[in-house]
Amino acid sequence: MKPTSAPKTPSDPRSVQLTEDGKLRHFLTLGGLNKEILEEILDTADSFVSMGEQSVKKVPLLRGKTVVNLFFENSTRTRSTFELAAKRLSADVLNLDISTSATSKGETLMDTLQNLEAMGSDMFVIRHADSGAQHFIASQISPNVAIINAGDGRHAHPTQAMLDMYTIRKHKGDFAGLKVAIVGDILHSRVARSQIQALNILGAEEVRLIGPKTLLPQPLEQMGASLYTRMEDGLKDVDVVIMLRLQKERMDGALLPSESEFYRLYGLTTEKLSYAKPDAVVMHPGPINRGVEIESAVADGPQSLILNQVSYGIPIRMAVMSMAVSGQTQQKTKEVAANGAADIEQQGEASA
């Protein structure tokens, strides 16, 4: 009798995130995904980048679909880009105010989700303070509803990592040979964990983590990263510098002597940036704390790609949402992206 491969366990991210034929069903974490999936997301986003310059910024990929934004944590930037992405895909969008929703009146999270699902929702974009909340929801929700992780606890922020990867590829080309430094509050950063996974999957030569020992968790070495406590050593000859926000709202106890001391040792200044390669680029997922994590001259300088990251957030999230809900191939998505806006414009003219 021919042996069969062992079934995927519930702890295996692939068993939840991908369909049997390898297409995205949910987007929860970059763990368990392969290079081909990540490159398809980046290539699909390429199809949407030029839409921002068109007179009609819509394609009909998610026409008739309903996307619900469920943000249990505040994030104006992430929520806004997800909303814009869904609308540019022609979806109907519902932003649920958690503070006034039934969950604040005693209803369980699953009761709320099941009621929204019963209304015909096709996708939930969820941001939650608890690590793994989206994984739990994805394991309980019906198969025809997609879950997109917009950040969970200290665990993952996969769409932020992918827009960072898009920014790097756009300005540095291939990942092979790249040395990337991630600097700051690594301990509390879900973005850093997703960035490490993405960089390793896409083939970066080296990922360096720089910060004080109190904010530099040793287990991350097992994810394929090198740890540094001195900026001079960690930034030497790197191609990309990614600064992180100090996550003061997640800190327990006195992990830092002071913000001014952190800036003196780990804030990115023009002087410290000189340790990196002359053509190194600077990134930050935002929001920026100027004079704490980064000097204004660097944040606003010629090597900064911080505003580029913001603009690339919309096409990346469009790519993820269209792939998860519509199940379209990259080629089909590119065709619709190229022709969809023109089709919508023609329909508008015809109905005028």
- The phi, psi pair for 142, rounded to 5°, reads -70, 155
Q: Does 14 appear as a known binding residue?
A: no
Pairing of strands 281-283, 240-243: parallel
Q: Does 188 appear as a known binding residue?
A: no
Q: In whole angstroms, what is the distance from residue 181 CA to residue 239 CA?
A: 8
Q: In whole angstroms, what is the distance from residue 236 CA to residue 232 CA?
A: 6
Q: Does 154 appear as a known binding residue?
A: no
Q: Collapse the DSSP code of 122 into the 3-class scheme (helix H, G, I; strand E, B; otherwise coil) and give the result.
A: coil
Q: Does 219 appear as a known binding residue?
A: no
Q: What is the DSSP string of 219-275?
A: GGGGGT-EEES-HHHHTTT-SEEEE----GGG--S--SS-HHHHHHHHSB-HHHHTT
Q: Does 287 appear as a known binding residue?
A: yes
Q: Collapse the DSSP code of 135 into the 3-class scheme (helix H, G, I; strand E, B; otherwise coil) and give the result.
A: helix
- For residue 161, what are the CA distances in angstroms to 122, 140, 150, 316? 24, 26, 11, 10
DSSP state of 6: P
- The phi, psi pair for 129, rounded to 5°, reads -75, -20
Q: Does 160 appear as a known binding residue?
A: yes
* The pair of three-digit structure tokens given for residue 292, joined into one six-digit string: 């704490």
Q: Does 105 appear as a known binding residue?
A: yes
Residue 173, number of CB atoms within 10 A of its CB = 10
Nearest to 64 by CA among 120, 143, 147, 148: 120
Q: In whole angstroms, what is the distance from residue 281 CA to residue 302 CA?
A: 9
Q: In whole angstroms, what is the distance from residue 178 CA to residue 159 CA?
A: 21
Q: Does 17 appear as a known binding residue?
A: no
Q: In whole angstroms, what is the distance from residue 243 CA to residue 21 CA?
A: 37
Return binding residues.
Answer: 77-78, 105, 127, 157, 160, 190, 245, 286-287
Q: Which residues are annotated as a binding site for carbamoyl phosphate?
A: 77-78, 127, 157, 160, 286-287
Binding site members for L-aspartate? 105, 190, 245
